[in-house]
């Protein structure tokens, strides 16, 4: 197809582009993070004027300390993961792993087992290297700010269950895609894309009904008054009110949340128990109205279609790269001569692509913030703006979100508008929202 019109990949040029993008993204990330820390520390001493009446100073300072602690941890983790990425790619790590797995599996068990073993070995090594970071995050940072509610036993239990679920779901789809890559000819990527989309839709149905219940308890909303209130709201907004659940999020963390998930018969509204314990009825209603706003404005559909389109482009790009020896050589991998290289291509692609995709973060953050403003405006129309504002402020405080982020950092990363802007728009009333 189009691959024949494109010039062959020059390994040297691709290595250089990758190294440049990686260095540049590191510089940007370090710069943004240090701006954020500086800004938050500078404003630690005083609650911003517009929140002086509603947010106590100690909550403001806890949020500042939490933001700084997370940022510092994030920078250390970034340094580690970048070094690891270099080790896997330019320094020959993936090539070494491939040689080892190939020798151990290919002649005895065949091509598919070799390729699945390579993927599995990569995932397992990555998870083990990531483990100390996750433990530190949960049992040191989250713990010291009073957010963590997990015990070691629960952590191990979750990890084992997660590994089994990951293998049960991940191995078949990986095998299918590898099989298509090997047998479906030059247009394999179209078939693989179609399978990948089907797989995603399947997960959308299975996640709320089968997967999430493995990790949490979901009980029908017991509070009759709240249930009536929520059902009224859903009826007003034209939603079939079914599947209202409470999830025991408090078992793991005190961070609160609510979500609207699934589609068709698997559609349901899930409230974290931590959310219900903090918000009153009208506030819960306002938060749900915001979530319904995302549906009414077709944000959910838009996001799904964007994901479909981007993954089509991604598979097309992979379809071209996987057939080019320059793609492998650029990352210090000697492609196999006798065996398929599809698992290698998948792994390289998944490691390299995010480095380039990082530079599009501000664009996706911007689009996401626009959606949030729209959903807020919708919520103000179908519930009370003042309730939404007080609910958001409570959640913000419970999650120790900073009220004084660095403006550039927020523009770059924030998927939700900073609290000042968001509450400002909500409290300014419907006229002001019509223009956002
Ligand atoms: Zn939202």
Mean pLDDT, range 238-266, rounded to an integer: 78
CA of 299 to the centre of ligand 1 (A): 9
Task: From the candidates 95, 142, 283, 291, give the one annotated as an active-site residue.
Answer: 291
Q: Indicate whether 215 pLDDT > 50.
A: yes
CA of 156 to the centre of ligand 1 (A): 32
State residue 264's pLDDT score. 60
Q: Indicate whether 172 pLDDT > 90.
A: yes
Q: What is the pLDDT of residues 331-390, one digit of tens each?
A: 999 999 999 999 999 999 999 999 999 999 999 999 999 999 999 999 999 999 999 999
CA distance 399 to 410: 17
CA of 286 to the centre of ligand 1 (A): 12
Q: Indicate whether 2 pLDDT > 60.
A: no
Q: What is the pLDDT of residues 257-284, one digit of tens each?
A: 777 776 665 578 888 898 899 999 999 9
What residues are paired with 271 via a beta bridge? 246, 258
- Look over the chain and give the mean of its residue pLDDT values, rounded to a whole number: 92
Q: Does the active-site annotation cover 285?
A: no
Total number of residues shown for the chain: 436
pTM over 0.85: yes
Residues with CB under 5 A from ligand 1 (ion): 372, 375
Task: For residue 14, count other CB atoms closer than 10 A to its CB.
Answer: 18
Q: Does the active-site annotation cover 291?
A: yes
Q: What is the pLDDT of residues 299-319, one digit of tens each?
A: 988 999 999 999 999 999 999
CA of 263 to the centre of ligand 1 (A): 17
CA of 345 to the centre of ligand 1 (A): 36
CA of 84 to the centre of ligand 1 (A): 34
Q: What share of the chain in percent tops pLDDT 70?
A: 96
State residue 145's pLDDT score. 94
What residues are paired with 362 via a beta bridge? none
CA distance 376 to 391: 12
CA of 291 to the centre of ligand 1 (A): 6
CA of 72 to the centre of ligand 1 (A): 27
CA of 425 to the centre of ligand 1 (A): 14
CA distance 314 to 345: 13
Task: From the candidates 95, 142, 283, 376, give the one annotated as an active-site residue.
Answer: 376
Q: Give residues with Cβ within 8 angstroms of 44, minimum separation 6.
A: 60, 61, 64, 65
* The dihedral sign for the CA sequence 164, 167, 173, 176: negative
């Amino acid at each position: 197809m189009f691959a024949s019109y494109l010039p062959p990949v020059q390994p040297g040029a691709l290595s250089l582009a990758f190294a440049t993008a990686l260095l540049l993204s590191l510089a940007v990330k370090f710069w943004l993070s240090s701006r954020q820390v500086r800004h938050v520390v500078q404003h630690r001493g005083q609650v911003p004027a517009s929140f002086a009446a509603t947010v106590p100073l100690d909550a403001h300072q806890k949020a500042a300390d939490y933001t700084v602690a997370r940022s510092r941890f994030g920078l250390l983790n970034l340094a580690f993961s970048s070094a690891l990425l270099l080790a896997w790619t330019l320094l020959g790590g993936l090539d070494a792993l491939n040689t080892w797995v190939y020798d151990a599996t290919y002649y005895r068990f065949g091509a598919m087992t070799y390729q699945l073993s390579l993927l599995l070995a990569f995932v397992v090594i990555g998870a083990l290297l990531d483990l100390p970071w996750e433990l530190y995050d949960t049992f040191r940072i989250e713990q010291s700010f009073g957010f963590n509610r997990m015990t070691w036993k629960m952590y191990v239990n979750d990890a084992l269950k997660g590994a089994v679920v990951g293998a049960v779901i991940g191995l078949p789809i990986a095998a299918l895609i590898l099989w298509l890559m090997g047998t479906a000819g030059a247009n394999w990527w179209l078939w693989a894309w179609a399978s990948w989309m089907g797989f995603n839709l399947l997960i959308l149905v299975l996640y709320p009904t089968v997967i999430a219940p493995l990790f949490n308890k979901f009980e029908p909303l017991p509070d009759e008054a709240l249930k009536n209130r929520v059902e009224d709201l859903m009826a007003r907004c034209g939603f079939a009110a079914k599947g209202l659940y409470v999830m025991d999020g408090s078992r793991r963390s005190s961070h609160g949340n609510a979500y609207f998930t699934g589609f068709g018969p698997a559609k349901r509204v899930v409230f974290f128990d931590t959310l219900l314990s903090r918000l009153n009825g009208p506030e819960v209603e306002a938060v749900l109205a915001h979530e319904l706003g995302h549906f009414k404005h077709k944000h959910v559909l838009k996001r799904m279609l964007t994901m479909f389109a981007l993954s089509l482009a991604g598979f097309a790009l992979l379809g071209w790269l996987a057939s080019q020896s320059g793609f492998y050589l650029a990352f210090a991998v000697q492609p196999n001569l006798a065996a398929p290289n599809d698992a290698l291509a998948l792994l390289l692609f998944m490691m390299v692509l995010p480095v380039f995709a990082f530079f599009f973060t501000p664009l996706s953050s911007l689009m996401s913030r626009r959606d949030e403003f729209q959903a807020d405006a919708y919520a103000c129309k179908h519930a009370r703006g003042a309730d939404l504002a007080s609910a958001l402020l409570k959640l913000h405080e419970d999650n120790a979100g900073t009220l004084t982020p660095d403006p550039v950092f927020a523009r770059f990363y924030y998927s939700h508008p900073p609290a000042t802007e968001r509450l400002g728009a909500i409290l300014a009333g419907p006229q002001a929202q019509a223009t956002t």
